[in-house]
Amino acid sequence: MTYASAAKSAPQGALGRLLSRKLAVLGLVLIVLVLGGALGAPWIAPFAPDQQNFDGLTIEGSPLPPGGAYLMGTDLLGRDLFSRILYGARTSLIIGIVANGLSLLIGTLVGITAGYFRGWIGAALMRFTDLMMAFPALLLAICLAAIFSPSLWIVALVIALVNWVQTARVIYTETTSLATRDFIAAERTLGAGTGRILFKHILPHLVPTIIVWGTLGISTTVLLEATLSFLGVGVQPPTASWGNIIFENQTYFQSAPWLVFLPGAAIILLALAFNLVGDALRDVLDPTQRGRH
């Protein structure tokens, strides 16, 4: 087998090992369903997410239970819960992908810089990382979100600013190990510059780790966004978010429990799906894990 064919078959082999794991397939199916619902919300949702329906409340003014024209019932304003959950999936996925992408970028830049250069540069970056880790992530996110006017993109930025530290730690450890390998020393001897070594030799070795942390990080981001929205410092109404759906309807927890359980179940299932896929990717892409399952 030639080098080119081996390189081509490697991703196919990883994909095959991933699809051979039932829990990973379950996670992928759940992600596809949520993604399909989010993208198809304008066509799938029977109502606009902020549409208040005159027949969406009982005579006493209470939310309608699931059934009939309202598949998942209505909320305290007579809005269709199914439509709001579909549009809320858009919010969760956008923030999950954007915030996680930014945190991966920041964490990778900090980790690879500190791990390769070491010395005072690495010490300063890692001490700053330790300082950030000393603050509770949720408390720091609440403070940052309260300072700025909460919006979709501000919430994504806030989550990225508190979520990069774990990635930086992991990337730093791996980069430190790679920087001392013989093939890196050989590249330096041959006159390779810092940019060539970082981007052609070290970064490609970090790609599996980045992929795994990126997948697992989305579940953390989704949960943190839901928490911020539930506390009132996340995505603000009328924009639908799974967290603010629960926040708006928490007073109906006993009389209309579906208003809390259904968006809560959506949050749990999406976080679980990304965790299942992330765990499987870690086992598939890490050679030391192969054959253990």
pLDDT at 150: 73
pLDDT at 291: 46
Q: Which of 4-13, 123-132, 197-206, 228-237 has the lowest mean pLDDT?
A: 4-13
Residue spans per domain, the chain: 20-46+71-289
pLDDT at 29: 93
pLDDT at 3: 34
Q: What is the pLDDT of residues 152-182, one digit of tens each?
A: 888 888 888 888 998 999 999 999 888 888 7
Q: What is the pLDDT of residues 206-215, one digit of tens each?
A: 888 888 888 8
- Calculate the CA 293 to chain-centre distance: 26
Q: What is the pLDDT of residues 102-157, one digit of tens each?
A: 999 999 999 999 988 888 888 999 999 988 888 787 788 888 777 877 778 888 88
Integer Cα distance of 50 and 33 in angstroms: 23
Look at residues 293, 139, 275, 259 and name the one whose alpha carbon lies nearest to residue 212.
275
Report, at the CATH architecture level, how domain 20-46+71-289 is classified. Orthogonal Bundle (1.10)
Q: What is the pLDDT of residues 73-93, one digit of tens each?
A: 888 888 999 999 999 999 888
CB within 8 Å of 157: residues ≥ 6 apart: 99, 102
CA distances from 91 to 235, 236, 243, 246, 267 (A): 8, 11, 10, 14, 12
Look at residues 92, 101, 94, 89 and name the one whose alpha carbon lies nearest to residue 214.
101
The β-bridge partners of 191 are: none
Integer Cα distance of 10 and 180 in angstroms: 26
For 209, the token pair is 């780790």
pLDDT at 255: 84
Confidence grade of residue 197 (pLDDT, cut at 50, 70, 90): confident
pLDDT at 203: 86
